[in-house]
Amino acid sequence: MTGTVLTVSSRAMLEACRRLGLDTTAILAAARLDPARVEDPDGRIPVPQMATLWRKAYELSNDPDLALHAIEVLPPGAYRVIEFLSHHAPSVGASLTKVSEYFPLINSIVRLPLSIGEREVTMTVEAPANPAVLTRPYAEYTMAAIFLRTRAITGAPYRLTRVEFSHPRPESTREHERIFGCPVLFGASACRLVLSRATWDRPCVAIDPTLYDILDSHARILLGRLPDDQSLIGRVREAIGAELRGGDPRLATIARRLGMSGRTLQRRLGEFGIVFNDLVDELRFAAARSYLAQRDIAATEVAYLLGFRAQSSFNRAFKRWSGQTPSDYRRSPHPPRTIAATTSPLR
């Protein structure tokens, strides 16, 4: 899992756990999270740590509906700009549109595409770059939060037509039906909130067009300030690629190229669930295939070009990546195109 998530959902879950009498210190320790970081209203945490946090909470609470119960104790204004913007939206549909548009301020991975039809409107909760992020707890919390918060904020207590979850039907669905107040389906192809077009067009009560425009502009500025995950990763790839051509693709060298310390680079990549040595392996494998495709370059020279100190080290690494030795790869009419999973740095 890669990316970062605003801490608000994790704070709400921890508050629910406190009310249940659970040891939140143990939950934070399991995820290796500093309490101050989670309490920071503008804080963000890596997705892997968030997943560990929720997993430990479920383990200690023994509450299969913890995510639904957590959203019920979420304080007003927890999502700040998005909530204030939704409060002054002219309609239910406008409110949900802004939630969809600015959701990256909350979670940089999950997207909320809208499908607006003549009779129904569907909001899908998806993570195309990393579907594993949409665990049952996260999907249930997110969809309940969108519904309950927008219904309360807009002053238009609207109803949903149905809710669809992609995870299997749990043993009890009573809490799901109570929270959403509509048919709840499980085992669907995607996670969706569905409402009628009439509900989508329903006017809101507290409308301030001027403040709405100001808040919209502010949210757009915040969105533009979000770190570009792919930009950093792309720059790291380029730097590694440059060093592979007879250079030194070590962490410290690449970090200097990017104007930061090795520790900082490692931390920033870690926030997206990426290991530096895995990027080196991936690019070395791609370069190795390119060199080996040129029959006039000896395998010993390929090893040298990729920074290996010995031919035997290159042979072992290539076998780990592709399942073949460099010689077998060259003899193969259809060599493999993808790198095998790597778990350790090259030696």
Domain ranges of the chain: 4-224, 229-331
Predicted TM-score (pTM) of the model is: 0.65
Round to the nearest angstrom and report the end-to-end CA distance of the chain: 26
- The residue with greater pLDDT, 124 or 225, is 124
CA 66 from centre of chain: 21
The 10s digit of each residue's pLDDT in 248-269 is 788 988 888 887 888 888 887 8
Q: Is there a common fold for 4-224 and 229-331?
A: no
- Nearest Cα to 5, choosing from 34, 40, 65, 47? 47
Name the band, by pLDDT with cuts 50, 70 and 90, for residue 161. very high
197-212 in b/e form (b: 16+ CB < 10 A) is eebbebebeebeeeeb
Question: Are 282 and 339 spatial neighbours (Cβ–Cβ below 8 Å)?
Answer: yes
**Lowest-pLDDT range, 137-151, 201-215, 282-296, 327-341?**
327-341
- The residue with greater pLDDT, 131 or 69, is 69
- Nearest Cα to 322, choosing from 292, 289, 296, 344? 289
Arch. (CATH architecture) of 229-331: Orthogonal Bundle (1.10)
Per-residue pLDDT at 132: 77
pLDDT at 229 over 70: no
Q: Which long-range contacts (CB under 8 A, 24 or more apart) does 258-266 make?
A: 265/236
Torsion, Cα of 265, 266, 268, 270 (10° steps): 160
Q: Which superfamily does 4-224 belong to?
A: H-NOX domain (3.90.1520.10)
pLDDT at 327 over 50: yes
pLDDT at 340 over 50: no
